[in-house]
Chain A
Amino acid sequence: SQTIHQWPATLVQPVGSPLSLECTVEGTSNPNLYWYRQAAGRGLQLLFYSVGIGQISSEVPQNLSASRPQDRQFILSSKKLLLSDSGFYLCAWSVAHGYTFGSGTRLTVV
């Protein structure tokens, strides 16, 4: 079966520290993968998407970057976190007519 794993579930990091969030999918090959951010009380903002290994498209200039080192792995990173990076981060992959989302990572930058 097709599943998507995202970790960690929660993370508290100090300002200026690095970040690495990982997302992996199982049961499919060559998926389109996405990173979204959901700030408190706001909708979903598309951050990055990838259509293949090493192929990353950025939607919004920011303090974050993404990488896709393997077909079914998508990583969201930052070298130095800002307070404004706090939020709920969601990974997703696209299936026919729709997306499937991971369970999310709650990031709090303190």
Chain B
Amino acid sequence: AQSVTQLGSHVSVSEGALVLLRCNYSSSVPPYLFWYVQYPNQGLQLLLKYTSAATLVKGINGFEAEFKKSETSFHLTKPSAHMSDAAEYFCAVSDRRNNNDMRFGAGTRLTVKP
């Protein structure tokens, strides 16, 4: 069975500072990995995904994530935080053989201070 663990339920950064949201995965087969963002009372929006091409994946809004097999990690980063980045972020993993088995982390709420 697959799973993801997001380290830190809340992360607070200052505007302009580096954003680092951590995600570690567990999977017995090569995984697909995803980051989603959720703004209040809205659905989840795909930020980026790793599907076995380049290990450094660039997404929308200046976010990127790097797949590190040796560390079983898929951390999300952004060089400079913007106030509009304040939201909840979810890491997810799915089995390449079964798209019906996507597992989400508990989420990390990002706060951006002015």
Contacts and interface: CB of A to CB of B under 8 A. Distances in A.
B100 A94 contact: yes
B51 A104 contact: no
A25 interface: no
A106 B90 CA distance: 19
A106 B99 CA distance: 26
A75 B18 CA distance: 42
B70 interface: no
A98 interface: yes
A44 B42 contact: no
Contact of B51 (A6, A49, A97, A101): A97
Given A32-B99, A43-B90, A44-B90, A101 B43 contact: yes
Given A98-B34, A100-B46, A42 B106 contact: yes
Given A42-B106, A43-B104, A99-B46, 14 more contacts: A6-B43, A32-B99, A43-B90, A92-B43, A92-B44, A97-B49, A98-B34, A98-B49, A99-B44, A99-B102, A100-B46, A101-B44, A101-B45, A103-B42
